[in-house]
Amino acid sequence: MHDDTRLAHIGRHGTEPLGLVNPPVCHASTILFPSFDAFEGKAPVPITYGRHGTSTHFALQEALSELEGGAGAVLVPSGLAACTLAIQALVAAGDHILVTDSVYGPTRAFCDQALRRCGVETTYFAPELGAGIAELMRPNTRLVFVESPGSLTFEIQDLPAIAAAAHARGVRVVIDNTWGAGYFHKPLALGADISVQALTKYVGGHSDLMLGALICTAETLPAVQAQARLQGNATAPDDVFLALRGLRTLGTRLKAHDASGRRVAEWLGGQPMVRRVIHPACTDHPQHALWRRDFSGACGLFAFELESCRREQLAALFDGLRLFGMGYSWGGYESLLIVAHPPRSVCKPGNEWPLLRIHVGLEDPADLIADLHEGLQRWQSA
């Protein structure tokens, strides 16, 4: 079955006997046990307590794990919570982890502050390292955290090579798969043990919900489920319902983001004041070959560098934008543009940074290009 067909049918259990197309939104804290046996755990019950999820949550968990080829999925209140839960499920005091230098900034902050306080040491590695990661492993290394493409700088990582090096030493691999959205990239098939996603982005798709997911292999699922229970996170069924609704159009939307994104990237690449466009689908991207090998498409998020970034130039560009909004997050139907200063410790920033990070939404790309064209003219005369 193709993914677009799958997206229309997965996670629709619980709709019987009424013939509903969509699973109902089940709000619950208390669940009444049908018998004393069930209360004592001697007879199985599908639901025990609201914090552990209702049929609405189970539908989304099932859909996500089917889409990414996992054994199961766990939902958490945000994408960041998915990243931090994956790490916490797999490490203990005294452990060492390897994290890509291109990791999402708040995930880096969690490692540098919360993990360090708990006695877990983090080493950042260059995203281009691939199989060379073996040389950074220590006897107490437990985990490699990959993000591909990297946040803001969009390096593609050689996941199969990293996973082979890690698994040879009994080390687990977690990947932040938010950019691939479970659709353009299938990391569990390439060796990852856990794929985390900010559903806030493309699965939600409408800039109105916060949610995260961990899609796990059979080996990692029990540890993730256990840690999730210990931490006590719960997600709202209304948000889960919105994610399920977003999932139905994920493929259609992503293909439109992909086509428009490439068109805008190509146009930007032809502008004299644009020094470099960083888009994995562009043939001049340093890891374009890896992207072609491991991804089936590109979402609408990429970056570009301008010849110069004086504050007055940036202010002139941004303040007159008609269609592009200036705001965090991405993956919604609308276009966004921000200035970004990627925090890096191994890959030192060039003098060309800051970067401009662009999210190409579902508007007509000709209108978006016109908005950018006017913006670059304002930049030029500032």
Question: Which residues have a catalytic role annotated?
Answer: 51, 104, 176, 201
User: Nearest approach, Cβ of 44 to ligand PLP (angstroms)?
Assistant: 33
CA dist., res. 108 & res. 346, Å (int) = 13
Q: Is 141 in the site for ligand PLP (CB under 6 A)?
A: no
User: Nearest approach, Cβ of 290 to ligand PLP (angstroms)?
Assistant: 18
Q: Is 78 in the site for ligand PLP (CB under 6 A)?
A: yes
Decide whether 157 or 178 has the Cβ nearer to ligand PLP.
Answer: 178
Decide whether 24 or 106 has the Cβ nearer to ligand PLP.
Answer: 106
Q: Quick one: which of 80, 213, 214, 265 contacts ligand PLP (CB under 6 A)?
A: 80
Q: Is 240 in the site for ligand PLP (CB under 6 A)?
A: no
Q: Is 115 in the site for ligand PLP (CB under 6 A)?
A: no
Q: Quick one: which of 59, 74, 165, 210 contacts ligand PLP (CB under 6 A)?
A: 210
Q: Is 198 in the site for ligand PLP (CB under 6 A)?
A: yes
Residues 303-322 that bind ligand PLP (CB under 6 A): none
Mark the segment that binds ligand PLP (CB under 6 A) among 1-9, 60-68, 72-80, 110-118.
Answer: 72-80
Decide whether 62 or 147 has the Cβ nearer to ligand PLP.
Answer: 147
Q: Quick one: which of 122, 200, 220, 227 contacts ligand PLP (CB under 6 A)?
A: 200
Q: Is 151 in the site for ligand PLP (CB under 6 A)?
A: yes
- x/- mask, ligand PLP, residues 319-358, rule CB under 6 A, reads ----------x-----------------------------
Binding site for ligand PLP (CB under 6 A): 78-80, 83, 104, 147, 151, 176, 178, 198, 200-201, 210, 212, 329
